[in-house]
Structure 1
Amino acid sequence: MAQESETRSEKSPQESPWERDVLEKLALEGIAERRRARRWNIFFKLLFFAYLVAITVSALRPWPEMVRPDGKVTARVDVKGILMEDSRANAETLIKGLRRASSAPNARGILLKMNSPGGSPVQAAYVYEAIRRIKQEKPDLPIVAVVTDVCASGCYYIAAAADKIYVNPASVVGSIGVIMNGFGLVETLQKLGVERRLLTAGEHKALLDPFSPVNPEEKAHVQRLLDRIHRQFIDAVKQGRGERLKDDPDLFSGLVWTGSQSVDLGLVDGIGDSRYVAEEIFGAKKIVDFTPKEDVLERLSRRIGTTLGTTLGQVLTNGWGALR
């Protein structure tokens, strides 16, 4: 018995270090977890502080129309990118910029800097009418468009409302037309042995369905719609450009021309850039950008949302250990 007791007492020291290792690991893991919690606590406090700073800066930052630089200025509004309601080049944003520019106390003219392939005829029409209203309200405030790379389709629709249009010789101008496109996949389905099953309530609800044969009546109806929109586009251009347009049968065919050619066709008034318009036409060398920009707070909120979303996704997927 004494010998067994001695044997057990000899084994116990060998088990003790293993138990201590486990306890040490658990203790270290608990310490690491607390450290991570403290780091995230500090991170979110700093994030909240940055959020407050952004709000303060945004609130104190003067709007362009409130800025009163010494001397006369040229008020610039950029028409850049595809004209769509959900893009930065949407009618609401552009009209807001035009209104701010027209209200600037020292503005001697509004410069429309154009670089767009076009887009929605509705968005273009909204901006076109807004420009004409500003011209009626402030007939002494000139509005001049300057084309950089491209001013086609809906972009030219807008430019036609300006008092004058200037281009670079290599600019692309025109595309006065309307388009609707799609695909016909009827034979493709037949070759693949796919049966088309289409149910509608309304005789023409499946208008121009790509998997069905073309319906001549529907095609004619859509063509009439396009012709009507095209007619609206043509009337707007003629109203804006007047007798400056040359009598050319291709003018409203949807073709595009270089800046030099567009001068000859009467689509634009001459060769010139933003500096030329500001200095020579408006007599105001200083150019102030009145294009509405995304607010600092909006950018910060979006970035915070992205960061938090990524963080929470990692936590939910891999646990807090993923954030080490």
Structure 2
Amino acid sequence: MYPNQPPVTPPPPLYAYPPPPPEPRRRRSGAFWAMVIGGSLLAAITVLGLLTWIAVKAVDSDSSTTTALTSGKQIGVIEVSGVLLNAEQLETQLRKFGDDDDVKAIILHINSPGGGAAVSQELYNEVLRVRSEKHKKIVASIETVGASGAYYIASACDKIYANDASVVGSIGVIMEWTNYGDLLRWAKLKPVVLHAGDLKDAGDPTRDLTPREQEYFQGLINNMYGQFIHDVAHGRNVPDDRIKPLATGQVWTGQQAKGLGLIDQEGGFRVALVDTARSVGITGEPSIKRPPKKKVGLLTALNGTDTDDLSRTPDASLLRILSAVSASAAGAPLNADTLNQSPGFYFLWK
């Protein structure tokens, strides 16, 4: 190339092609967004579960830090709370504390309206067994409510404490179930029952009781009522005639209950703890030992309730029946187990 020579311009192309059109924006499929939303929900649930686990562990660590490790100077504390429909967990706790030589006495910290009749009797008998076989003092401390089946259990203890404004008593029996016959007829459902024995289907929830069935069930209730009175009298070490006038199903305040002989001393949990510790020779600040925390699911941890037990109460059964029959009327398949509700006998304050 020579100096000062102008630059050579390249010739135009023989064929001019238009620029390619822009690619259309890809639309995400419904499955893609379902995966995104599902993944987000799963991540949120995982984080929530982790936070709940941390909270539960924190409660565990808090309770463990309040439990001193001083050998042979501990008071076992068992929470008796909510509607009592299963005795297994409380029985296990009583048995373990009864076998634990480091536990010198046991306090049942009660806040319950009672529950199933047979469940209350099982726990009553277990309290008596631990007292007699393991020679351990067991004390009841009623917080807000210690009624019906919960009081039944408390009466087996060596001593009963209650706050002045606690609700105590409700000695009586209630039998309850839901008659949903009209609801079935509204949903155009017809029950078919075959049986042998006049009373085999007594309490059929699809119809009213016959006079004979009512007399039959009342006899069962009266028998359980007599057992309730006798067992409370035995636990309180008084004659049956002393308890029978109080067995009207009504409740009293802790202050009233003291004058009626249903409790031994007015006072809250702290009073019961210190008095019990002194009575078994523990000086200084009493050391508390609690059962290990029950492993619970996420829903239970968030609600603070045992949904499996609560779902078996009469009121919850009615809600399930209403939901099932309404869904059936709308064309959904009917779950027969939901409608299989047998009459229940309860030591329960309502």
TM-score, with length taken from structure 2 = 0.61
The reply to whether residue 123 of structure 1 matches residue 127 of structure 2 is no
SS at match of 1:212: coil
Q: Distance in 2 between matches of 1:239 and 1:174?
A: 16
Q: Distance in 1 between matches of 2:164 and 2:272?
A: 16
Match of residue 223, structure 2, among 224, 228, 232:
228
Q: Distance in 1 between matches of 2:243 and 2:98?
A: 35
Residues 79-101 of structure 1: CA deviation (Å, up to 9, x unaligned) = 0110012xxxxx11111111222
SS at match of 1:108: strand
Cα pair 1:161 1:240 within 8 Å, conserved: yes
SS at match of 1:200: coil
1:200: Cα distance to partner? 2.8
1:182: Cα distance to partner? 4.6
Q: Distance in 2 between matches of 1:300 and 1:214?
A: 42
1:137: Cα distance to partner? 1.7
Equivalenced residue count is: 259
The residue that corresponds to 1:200 in the other structure is 194
SS at match of 1:222: helix
| CA gap 1:133/1:300 in 2 versus in 1, 3 angstroms | same
**Mapping for residues 1-324 of structure 1, pairs under 5 Å:** 13-14=18-19, 16-19=20-23, 69-70=69-70, 72-85=73-86, 91-139=87-135, 141-182=136-177, 199-202=193-196, 203-209=198-204, 211-243=206-238, 247=242, 249-283=244-278, 284=282, 285-295=285-295, 299=297
SS at match of 1:95: helix
The sequence identity of aligned pairs, in percent, is 32
| CA gap 1:279/1:253 in 2 versus in 1, 3 angstroms | same
| CA gap 1:286/1:293 in 2 versus in 1, 3 angstroms | same
1:245: Cα distance to partner? 8.0
| CA gap 1:125/1:182 in 2 versus in 1, 3 angstroms | closer
| CA gap 1:84/1:73 in 2 versus in 1, 3 angstroms | same
SS at match of 1:169: coil
| CA gap 1:282/1:214 in 2 versus in 1, 3 angstroms | same
SS at match of 1:113: strand
Q: Distance in 1 between matches of 2:119 and 2:74?
A: 28
1:78: Cα distance to partner? 0.7
Residues 221-267 of structure 1: CA deviation (Å, up to 9, x unaligned) = 10111111112211211110012888365311212111111111111
RCO higher in structure (CA 8 A, sep ≥6): 2
Cα pair 1:96 1:292 within 8 Å, conserved: no
The gaps in structure 1 that reach 5 residues or longer are 1-8, 86-90, 304-324
* Residue identity matched to 1:239: H
Q: Distance in 2 between matches of 1:211 and 1:183?
A: 9
Q: Distance in 1 between matches of 2:145 and 2:226?
A: 22
Cα pair 2:141 2:160 within 8 Å, conserved: yes
Cα pair 1:97 1:290 within 8 Å, conserved: no
TM-score, with length taken from structure 1 = 0.66
* Residue identity matched to 2:116: S
Two-structure CA RMSD over aligned residues (Å): 4.2
